[in-house]
Structure 1
């Protein structure tokens, strides 16, 4: 399945950004901020480099390590609790505080649409992955991952 990380990851990043700085960020600034977090989650989940490189190119294999990589990001950034629950209200508040005004309405709409459309799963890795898929299908221009 061809996908690109987009809006869902921006939501994840928004939670982390509150504790790092108060300035609103554009997409390039978000990309810079996510690199060390991405590296940590890659190591924790033993994600093969080729899977991440493929994801940078917009191809997202449905592999467990990649799915759990996204869960790791969500958990580390306190967007998802350990039980796998996302808070849409928390996402909206963080987006308003931290994402530049040109992007915030799009990010919030993607969050709402994907949160409403994505079926909840017992497997939180799969659920997080499905949110990423939804976000890409909604607006792939908001990708925060690149080499």
Structure 2
């Protein structure tokens, strides 16, 4: 399947998951969030070429500096979260909105605090994969016990 078709299919699947949200409670449940992460992971692993072991190690705080495929995997996941501009930069307002919609309540404050602590990190890097990867790494360091990733 072509990359564009896969991307469109993933966005449709994410949209379907988001439609299933109880409108009285706009955040995803942890179970819905985990399903969304699976969709992101299944789309971004082949697109980035990252090793499954390296992706799994992110949850343990292992962020190697020399793995370009892993960095672009992280970029892909964040891109699918809908918080990036066409210039491949994080949009503050979208980050806050998506944190409240996509993340379960128990992760929202962690994510928002992480973004607040790490919002200057992207300015230190020219490459879009590096910008997002090191921002996510910084967020992990905000509170490793709450960190989760696709």
**Higher mean C-alpha displacement, 108-117 vs 59-68:** 108-117
Relative to 1, partners in 2 of residues 1:67 and 1:81: Cα closer, same or farther, differing over 3 Å?
A: same
RMSD over equivalenced CA pairs, Å: 2.6
* Aligned match of 2:18: 20
* Aligned match of 1:111: 115
Matched, 1:140 2:134: no
* TM-score under structure 2 length normalisation: 0.71
Matched, 1:40 2:38: no
Please list every run of 5 or more consecutive structure 1 residues that lacks an aligned counterpart in the other structure: 1-15
* Aligned match of 1:72: 76
Matched, 1:54 2:74: no
* TM-score under structure 1 length normalisation: 0.73
Bigger radius of gyration, 1 or 2?
2
SS at match of 1:119: helix
SS at match of 2:36: helix
Which structure would you say has the larger RCO, counting Cα contacts within 8 Å and 6 or more residues apart? Answer: 1
Please list every run of 5 or more consecutive structure 2 residues that lacks an aligned counterpart in the other structure: 1-13
Q: After superposition, what is the alpha-carbon deviation per residue over 1:101-140, rounded to whole angstroms, capped at 9, x for unaligned? A: 4443332121111113553421000001111110011111
Residue 64 of structure 1: how far off its partner (Å):
0.2
User: Aligned partners of 1:38, 1:95: CA distance in 2, in Å?
Assistant: 18
